[in-house]
Amino acid sequence: MRFEARIEVTHRAGVLDPQGATVERTLPMLGYDGVRDVRIGKCIRLTLDADDRAAARAAVEEMCERLLVNPVIEAYEIELTELAPVS
Amino acid sequence: MGARVAVVVFPGTNCELDVAAALEALGGTPELVFHTETDLRGADAVVLPGGFAHGDYLRAGALARFSPIMAAVAEHAAAGGPLVGICNGFQILTEAGLLPGALQQNTGLKFLCRTVECRVESTRSALTRGAPAGAVLRLPINHFEGAYRCDAPTLERLHAEDRVVLRYVDNPNGSVDAIAGVTNDAGNVVGLMPHPERASDALLGSTDGIVLLESLLDARDRAPV
């Protein structure tokens, strides 16, 4: 089976997010009042083959822990989408 | 012959010649070692110099730990050999798990390139052993990701074990506790954001880095720490 993984990497709760804080201060200047909790991170997309959804998730989690994310300052969320079978 | 220092060169490293020149001027014998090598050739000490190893892709220092030479670097450190990471080298050491914490974007979101004052907070490291405790050194910084971060228990441990080796007098980048450099529990592995090699000659505007580099050159006689 083939999956697309979308990994959202953000700052860990409690870790200062200087970009998010700056953007949060800027939005009210454009008239958007009441905006809060702006967090800026990055998005990693990849396609992988795995036996099933659980195996795909386990593999992506391992990639996150070993390379894609620095757990000291970053947190992540994984979104898996099964892709149509390759013909 | 002076202490032999392996200066590791990753693709994107750009401070290796400055480090080598500074060490040579102080009587050391630097050798450039490319990251694809697997052997430190019996070096007494190792420096990971500044730059942008592997383009700093993904995160600063994140990819360098997979370079072939890093297994030998980790082995050298585990055996008590002196190992110093300067700037990008510090980022690599944290990413490689050889030092605790991480380096994040400067709080002001500015690339900082200027000389700052750093206080020697601990002399129990390979880089600060020869420096007077409390001395204030003028050292250049040159980084975008230099804000030191670690969780509260780690910070407590760093304090308890006297492992904060350098602290900014006037915190330029938002580092936790104004930390500019830390060491491991044995004191043989040190990471710092300022560049001692760029403060090693009067022509460069400061000679305050010499005491640090000399400590490193002397460290071999004391290893394992």
Nearest to B69 by CA among B16, B127, B17: B16
Using alpha carbons, list the distances in angstroms from residue B164 to B127, B160, B216. 12, 10, 17
- Told to judge if B197 belongs to the known catalytic residues of this protein, a careful annotator would answer yes
Let me know if domain B4-219 sits in CATH 2.40.170.20.
no
B8: left (phi over 0), alpha (psi -120 to 50) or beta: beta
Question: Would you state the pLDDT for residue B126?
Answer: 97
Number of A–B residue contacts, CB under 8 Å: 31
**For chain B, how far is it from start to end, CA to CA, in angstroms?**
21
CB contact under 8 A, B149 and A73: yes
Residues 6 or more apart whose Cβ sits within 8 Å of residue A66: none
CA B103 to CA B162: how far, in whole Å?
Answer: 20
Three-state SS string over A33-59 comes to CCCCCCCCCEEEEEEEECCCHHHHHHH
- Tell me the nearest-neighbour CA distance from A18 into chain B, angstroms: 6
Looking up tokens 């700056």 gives A22
Report DSSP state, residue B173: S
Beta-carbon separation of B106 and A68 below 8 A: no
Q: What is the pLDDT of residue B225?
A: 43
Place of tokens 């300067």: B86
CATH topology of domain A2-82: Mth169; Chain: A , (3.30.1280)
CB B140 within 8 A of CB B125: no
Q: What 3-state class would DSSP assign to B217?
A: helix
Q: For residues B66 and A42, what is the distance between their CA atoms, to the nearest angstrom?
A: 22
Residue B195 known to be catalytic? yes
Q: Which of A64, A70, A74 to mutate to test the interface with B (most CBs of B within 10 A)?
A: A70
Q: Which residues contact B85 (CB under 8 A, 6 or more apart)?
A: B47, B48, B91, B92, B93, B98, B99, B189, B190, B191, B192
According to the model, what pLDDT value does residue B156 have?
Answer: 98
Q: Given an 8 Å threshold on Cβ–Cβ distance, is A72 in contact with B174? A: no
Q: What is the pLDDT of residues B182-205, one digit of tens each?
A: 999 999 999 999 999 999 999 999
Hey, where are the domains in chain A?
2-82
In this prediction, residue A63 carries a pLDDT of 97
| CA separation, residue B92 to residues A38, A80, B97 (Å) | 29, 31, 9
Which region, left, alpha or beta, applies to residue B131 given φ > 0 means left and ψ of -120 to 50 means alpha? beta
The pLDDT value recorded for residue A87 is: 64
Whole-number percent of chain B with pLDDT over 90: 95
Q: How many other C-beta atoms lie within 10 A of the C-beta of residue A41?
A: 17
pTM, 2 dp: 0.93
For residue A47, pLDDT beyond 50:
yes
Confidence of residue B168 (pLDDT cuts 50, 70, 90): very high
- Smallest Cβ–Cβ distance between B150 and the set A16, A68, A72 belongs to A72
The reply to whether residue B109 touches residue A19, judged by beta carbons under 8 angstroms, is yes
User: Domains of chain B: which residue ranges?
Assistant: 4-219
Does B76 qualify as catalytic in the annotation? Answer: no
Structure tokens at B207: 């000679």
Selected catalytic residue, list B15, B87, B118, B150: B87
Question: What is the interface pTM, i.e. ipTM, of the complex?
Answer: 0.84
Q: How far is B106 from chain A (nearest CA, A)?
A: 8
pLDDT category of residue B206 using cuts at 50, 70 and 90:
very high
Q: Which of A15, A22, A70 is facing B109, going by the closest CB pair?
A: A22
Alpha carbon of residue B205 to chain centroid: 20
Residue B138 to residues A79, B63, B135, B174, B189, Cα–Cα distance (Å): 48, 31, 10, 18, 22
CA atoms of B47 and B4, how far apart (whole Å): 11
pLDDT tens per residue across span B117-154 = 999 999 999 999 999 999 999 999 999 999 999 999 99
Tokens read off for B85? 């990471």
**pLDDT given for residue A14 in this prediction:** 85
Contact B101 A72 (CB under 8 A): yes
Model confidence over B60-106: pLDDT tens digits?
Answer: 999 999 999 999 999 999 999 999 999 999 999 999 999 999 999 99
The C-alpha of B150 sits at a distance from chain A's nearest C-alpha, in angstroms, of: 7
- Say whether B109 and A72 touch across the interface (CB within 8 A): no
Would you list which residues of chain A are within 8 Å, Cβ to Cβ, of chain B? 15-16, 18-19, 22, 67-68, 70, 72-73
For residue B2, the model assigns a pLDDT of 87
* Chain B contact residues (CB < 8 Å to A): 58-59, 62, 94-95, 101-102, 104-109, 147, 149-151, 174
